[in-house]
Chain A
Amino acid sequence: MEVLNFRMPKGHVSLAFVLLILGILLSTSFNTHRHLRRSTTELRKKGLIEVVKDLENDRNVLKDQLQDLSTDINKFEEKAAAEEGVLASFTGELKSQKLAAGFLPVVGPGVAVTLGDSPQIPAGKDPSNYIIHDYDLRVVVNALWAGGAEAIAINNQRLISTSSIRCAGNTILVNYTRLASPYKVKAIGSPEKLIESLNQNYEVKPLLKGYAKALALSIETREVSKHKLPAYNGSIGVEYAQAIEKEN
């Protein structure tokens, strides 16, 4: 020590000692801070890892929910499709019923029978013999039904189940609508069968063959390959008739 002290400037030993301790303090502090930084980043990392795991869990739950929901949607869609099928069959049934009942305009082959009053009534003769009467139309229509007509209209008045053809003074009422000569009776069905039915009907035959000529009534029957019949456009009030529910 004596030698050292002699060679060293005064106090350098203690200064060195103090600086050594200072160095230890400095590097310790440095290390600590570095460690702290790292640990905070590690802590952060840990937190982030947990966040990621949580989010992954959430995502899995949501995925499951999505799957459940899409299966539900599929079920509902199938159900809807089935219901739509039911609805479609109902609609189809309704359409065929309406078609049969005369509530839809129809088109098809058939016959057209035109019945017109005599243009001139000879003097001194009963004029009622020279005009077309409601019963003339009735027999024609009846014959047409008998011939398998599926739809009949007189002067665009479609005949339905409650239609009547009756006389009202000088005119003929069909569906409560006044019709005047000439009466065009259109029927849809097999043209041959309808013609045959008309020609063989014991009430129509004399009308077509005999009276028409004798009384100068203009009665013409012709086959039609395609003609249109309108829908029934009146009201239907079923007041007294009640449907009978099927008995078990």
Chain B
Amino acid sequence: MLPLFGLIIGIILGLVLNIPIPPAYVRYLGIAILAALDSSFGGLRASLEKTFEDRLFITGFFSNTLMAAFIVYVGDQLGIGELYLAAVVAFGVRLFRNLGIIRRYIF
């Protein structure tokens, strides 16, 4: 229950705070969300596999999110806009793999 509460409170907080993001950084926000989703599902999977570790999860979440945004940023600076796609594909693949594993545990 607590993770669900956390998610709902987070969404409400975000809506209420309404942090303005410059249009130029919307792409980084998007990739950061993808990374965060990936980490969250990873954590869920780990907890189902009983291999969950707080430290690993937290650091993984932050490093993944920040690094994803950073890599896309670097790609944009170097003129490799395709790096964004690479990150999306990588995270997408991991996301679906994690989802699949979670599904196998639940059902």
Contacts and interface: CB of A to CB of B under 8 A. Distances in A.
Interface in B75-105: none
A23 B13 contact: yes
Contacts of B36: 18, 21-22, 25
A11 interface: yes
Given A12-B2, A27-B11, A36-B23, A18 B30 contact: no
B14 A15 contact: no
Interface in B1-41: 2-15, 17-21, 23, 26, 29-30, 32-33, 36-37, 39-40
B32 A11 contact: no
A24 B29 CA distance: 11
A contact face: mostly helix, strand, loop, or mixed:
helix
A15 to B, nearest CB: 4
Interface residues of A, number: 28
Interface in A1-53: 8-33, 35-36
Interface residues of B, number: 40
Contact of B57 (A11, A24, A27): A11
A31 B18 contact: yes
> Most A CB atoms within 10 A — which of B9, B14, B19?
B14
A99 B93 CA distance: 111
A30 B10 CA distance: 13
A22 B20 contact: no
A33 B25 CA distance: 11
A54 B19 CA distance: 37
Contact of B6 (A19, A25, A33): A19
A217 B54 CA distance: 157
Contact of B5 (A11, A16, A18, A21): A16
A25 B39 CA distance: 13
B6 A15 contact: yes
B6 A27 contact: no
Nearest to A7: B2
Given A12-B2, A19-B6, A24 B44 contact: no
B33 A31 contact: no
Interface string B27-65: 001101100110110011011001011100110010000
Contacts of B32: 25
Interface of B: 2-15, 17-21, 23, 26, 29-30, 32-33, 36-37, 39-40, 43-44, 46-47, 50, 52-54, 57-58, 61
Given A18-B43, A31-B15, 9 more contacts: A12-B2, A15-B57, A19-B4, A20-B9, A23-B10, A23-B11, A23-B13, A29-B33, A31-B18
